[in-house]
Amino acid sequence: MDDEAIIELYFARSERAIQETDAKYGPACWALSRQIVGDRRDAEECVNDAYLGAWNAIPPARPHPLLTFLCKLVRHISVSRWRANTAQKRDGTGDVPLEELAECLPSAASVEDAAETEELTRLLDRFLEGLDRLDRVIFLRRYWFCDPYALIAERTGLSEKNVSVRLARVRKRLKTYLTERGVFA
């Protein structure tokens, strides 16, 4: 079933919308959540919460493409779950890719309003557009999908060390790029 037909099911408030969404995009959503939270049961809850979020948002929203909309919901819920699960146990075993970006991005406290957040989003988009395809894929696999180095290396045909070095260089370029545009004082 195509995305438009699935969205029409949401607009008709048919429970079949969730079934069709899961049939078409379930594996991608489950994989993304599992990669972030690291637990099958937590991933299941996160994906189900994302489906509920889609149910509540559609209508009035008419997301295009649907997969991107779902992945944003799943990722947001999964990251929140991961933070809640690891808040009490700071044992260093939770290798969160987002922590690698901490030195490149401003803190939430320094991003004072939605306009600044939107500007930062535009700057990140422009930065990513300027990367070559391989570096962009590596960056997104690590920091959007939270893939470990080994999986990125397997998918790209590079060594884990090469992936690590490329990511370090891209983070350095990102920090310089954002500093030049006044994101950091």
Classify the C-alpha dihedral 44-47-51-53 as positive or negative: positive
> What's the start-to-end Cα distance of the chain, in Å?
50
Q: What's the pLDDT tens digit per position in 127-143?
A: 999 999 999 999 988 88
Give the model's confidence band at 119: pLDDT under 50 very low, under 70 low, under 90 confident, else very high. Answer: confident
Q: How many CA atoms lie within 13 A of 98 on its CB side?
A: 15
Which residues, 6+ apart, have CB-to-CB distance to 53 below 8 Å? 73, 77
> Which helix (H) or strand (E) is 159 found in, with range?
none
Cα separation, 42 vs 44, in Å, equals 5
Give the model's confidence band at 112: pLDDT under 50 very low, under 70 low, under 90 confident, else very high. Answer: very low
* Residue 68 token pair: 């991107």
pLDDT of residue 83: 82
pLDDT of residue 93: 44
Cα separation, 160 vs 178, in Å, equals 27
Q: By the 8 A CB rule, do 50 and 13 touch?
A: no
Residue 179 has pLDDT above 60, yes or no: yes
**Percent with pLDDT over 90 in the chain:** 49
Domains of the chain listed by start with CATH number: 3-86 (1.10.1740.10), 97-180 (1.10.10.10)
The SS3 of residue 134 is helix
Q: CA gyration radius for the chain?
A: 18
Q: What is the pTM of this model?
A: 0.64
Cα distances (angstroms) measured from residue 146 to each of 52, 58, 134, 142: 23, 27, 16, 5
Q: What's the pLDDT tens digit per position in 67-96?
A: 889 988 998 899 888 888 877 555 444 455
Cα separation, 141 vs 149, in Å, equals 9
Give the model's confidence band at 182: pLDDT under 50 very low, under 70 low, under 90 confident, else very high. Answer: confident
What is the b/e burial string over 141-177, where b = at least 16 CB atoms within 10 angstroms of the residue's CB?
A: bbbebbbebebbbeeeebeeeebbebbeebbeebbeb
